[in-house]
Structure 1
Amino acid sequence: MGGGSRAVGDVEKAVERSIEEMHEKLAEALSIGDMAKSAMCSKFHFSREFQRVTGVTPRRFLSALRLQKAKELLLATQLTVAEISQTVGYGSVGTFSSRFAISVGVSPSDYRRQNGFIDPPGIVSNGEIGGAVKGVVTGPPDADLGLIFLGLFPGRVPEGEPVSCTILRRPGPFEIGNTPPGSWYLLGHSVPAAANEALTDWQEVHVGHLGPLEVPSGASSQTVEFQLRSMRILDPPVLPALQNIRSAAFAGGLLPADH
């Protein structure tokens, strides 16, 4: 497609078209060829550019979209888990339930029963002394950010339990301690204070990502600047059920003191 900002814009638009098709055809067995066709490029070029633009493969992005839709349907409809599984493109309800539990942190039935809530995550430890990631969160000055969740994850898609996390009342300094040594992505997520996290189609969600960040063994730290921005169609969905973390945070148990 050539160089220059116009070419970059054309690539992003092509990826956007493929993501729009994913949204429209969640129940269908979309192949890489189908996605590449909607983007009007070869399979190889499509896969490479899609991952460059979004940070994840097309299949991984599609899987995340399916689970995001499943979260919405569990809370907003009376469809059974089996019906939702079919609606979002899973031929096996067992495979769907397993994938949902891994990515969201709780089974589909429990997610519905708990109205999207989940217990705060534990800290992963392998016996080594944990490090820390600290820095400053910035965001649009006039945005209704609500509480800001920051978590360290093994991959670019925020899913499952973070290895360590924190919650802020507002942009500013942060520190995530007790972080196991390793390579982690710092992922952030914020919705307006009154929003239901799982039902945000009409809300302005803000996200951010950095990484991978290398956290060595011992009491060392990484210092970063972390920027939140309005979520775009090119951003992978946020999959973990975090509402109970937010609820606990409102009660004062998880939030750092005001600065």
Structure 2
Amino acid sequence: MSQASGVAPRSGAARAAAGEETPLARTRRARRMYRVLCQRYPDAHCELNFTSALELLVATVLSAQTTDARVNLVTPVLFQRYRTAADYAAADRAELETIIASTGFYRAKADSLLKLGAALVERHDGQVPQRMQDLVALPGVGRKTANVVLGDAFGVPGITVDTHVGRLARRFGWTQESDPVRVEYAVAELIPKREWTMLSHVVIFHGRRTCHARRPACGACWVARWCPSYGEGETDPSAARKLVKGPIPVEQP
């Protein structure tokens, strides 16, 4: 029986909860959880719609403090109106703000996009750079945004530490760090580099669909048996399944 049926955490999760887990045991547990999450979310992917590195960069900047779904409602018009970095650099601020207003903080985001377009034109001939150090030097771009672009536009492995990844990394007992950069480095020690981008996707999917911030669906969680935080949410399987967003596969490991 699994924890989804109400069984107490196994010894590995118990040791993690008690702070008695060795680094090797933590690595093995993290990799097992990652493999199971890949089985649970085989279609995990970046949920921002884009067709180019520039579109993904812009969409990720807009995604701050809002949902990917909200950004996806705005970007069709935005991407048709502004097709190049030069277009953003020369954009009319009022028009740009009107298009992106529903994403929130639109004045600051418009300012970032104007400066971002100008920086791309001036420093990179209008192209999105493919190196972390160049990306984070751009206006409005931090490591989270850079890792999204590197991983999903250029195929360069990166761990995107958004609110979901940070929350779940701590719940899973992978790290106790709260700073996103430190979370990124800590998780990177546990998972092979080639898996970093997909790791971000499956953890984000799990955070959005099952391991919610306020009421995680512990009783319907595929990785509950390895999670030291099991029991923070709803443990009754029937009640937990009602909390899960999206379809639930019939079989689980």
Scaled by the length of structure 2, what TM-score is found? 0.27
User: Higher relative CO (CA 8 A, sep ≥ 6), structure 1 or 2?
Assistant: 2
Q: TM-score, normalised by structure 1?
A: 0.26
**Structure index of larger Rg:** 2
Greater helix content: 2
